[in-house]
């Protein structure tokens, strides 16, 4: 397992959250209060292993992000809070438990069918902990498998049938560093570009668009 630098994670998260607060306050307002310690203990008991320290630190900052809201002065629902690429929204403890059970079932079904015998990521979905969900059935998760992939961040398009998984970053620290670098420079994260969305009342939130 790689050495974990929690102060580095906290610096990168603070950078990311500060950008949201200054440039996309509707998104920032969706961040929930910190997860209670008892809930994190219950989550680890449910998983059967300890949370990766970076993921635990993230939940200690915010228990995910709330659903989108109808902005004042607007008739349309503002897609605030889904500020990660592909419209992912940070998951709270309840969503993590729900989606973890889905991942375990998917992994078990396909292992029983002999479909993923040579796919190291797929056969270890029971060691993968979701941290963000979009609206289309995908999932972003942190790999908790012991070994060189411990802490790696993947996105998997389960709803579209794409179960190979895409590596987003080797850690949550790297993920939020790279995202914030992209936001501050108006550059890309992988092939996703930050694109502010603004409704008719002037409320703004962050989206990421694919550019070819």
Report percent pLDDT > 70 for the chain: 83
34, 60 contact by CB (below 8 A): yes
In a domain, 72, yes or no: no
51 secondary structure, DSSP code: P
In a domain, 112, yes or no: yes
In a domain, 198, yes or no: yes
In a domain, 60, yes or no: yes
Residue 203 confidence (pLDDT) above 80: no
In a domain, 163, yes or no: yes
What's residue 157's pLDDT? 84
In a domain, 74, yes or no: no
Residue 53 confidence (pLDDT) above 80: yes
**Alpha-carbon torsion 167, 173, 176, 179, what sign?**
negative
Residues 6 or more apart from 77 whose CB is under 8 A from it? 68, 69, 70
Instruction: Give the mean pLDDT of 62-75.
Output: 73
CATH code for the domain in which residue 205 is found: 3.40.1580.10
Q: Give the global pTM.
A: 0.89
What's residue 51's pLDDT? 98
Domain tally, the chain? 1
65, 89 contact by CB (below 8 A): yes
Residue 11 confidence (pLDDT) above 70: yes
Band of pLDDT at residue 16, cut at 50, 70 and 90 = very high
Cα-flanking dihedrals φ and ψ of residue 26, to 5°?
Answer: -65, -40
- Domain that includes residue 48, residue range: 6-67+79-210
168, 174 contact by CB (below 8 A): no
Residue 78 confidence (pLDDT) above 70: no
Name the least confident of 35-39, 75-79, 135-139: 75-79
pLDDT tens for 177-194 read 999 999 999 999 999 999
Contacts 24+ apart (CB under 8 A), 34-38: 34/59, 34/60, 34/61, 34/62, 34/63, 35/59, 35/60, 35/62, 35/63, 35/92, 35/93, 36/63
178, 192 contact by CB (below 8 A): no
pLDDT tens for 117-126 read 555 676 788 9
In a domain, 159, yes or no: yes
The Cα 167–Cα 140 span in angstroms is 10
In a domain, 62, yes or no: yes
């Amino acid at each position: 397992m790689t050495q974990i630098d929690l102060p580095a994670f906290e610096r990168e998260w603070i950078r990311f959250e500060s950008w949201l607060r200054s440039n996309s306050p509707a998104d920032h307002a969706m961040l929930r209060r910190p997860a209670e310690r008892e809930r994190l203990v219950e989550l680890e008991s449910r998983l059967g292993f300890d949370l990766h320290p970076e993921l635990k630190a993230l939940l200690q900052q915010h228990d995910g992000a709330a659903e989108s809201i109808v902005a004042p002065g607007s008739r349309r629902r503002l897609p605030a809070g889904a500020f990660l690429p592909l419209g992912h929204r940070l998951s709270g403890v309840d969503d993590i438990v729900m989606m973890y059970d889905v991942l375990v079932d998917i992994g078990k079904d396909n292992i029983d069918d002999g479909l993923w015998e040579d796919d190291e990521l797929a056969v270890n979905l029971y060691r993968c902990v979701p941290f963000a969900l979009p609206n289309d059935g995908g999932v972003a998760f942190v790999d908790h498998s012991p070994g060189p992939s411990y802490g790696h961040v993947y996105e998997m398009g389960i709803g579209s049938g794409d179960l190979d998984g895409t590596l987003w970053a080797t850690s949550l620290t790297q993920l939020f560093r790279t995202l914030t670098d992209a936001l501050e420079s108006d550059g890309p994260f992988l092939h996703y570009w930050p694109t502010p969305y603004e409704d008719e009342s002037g409320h703004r939130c962050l989206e990421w668009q694919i550019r070819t």
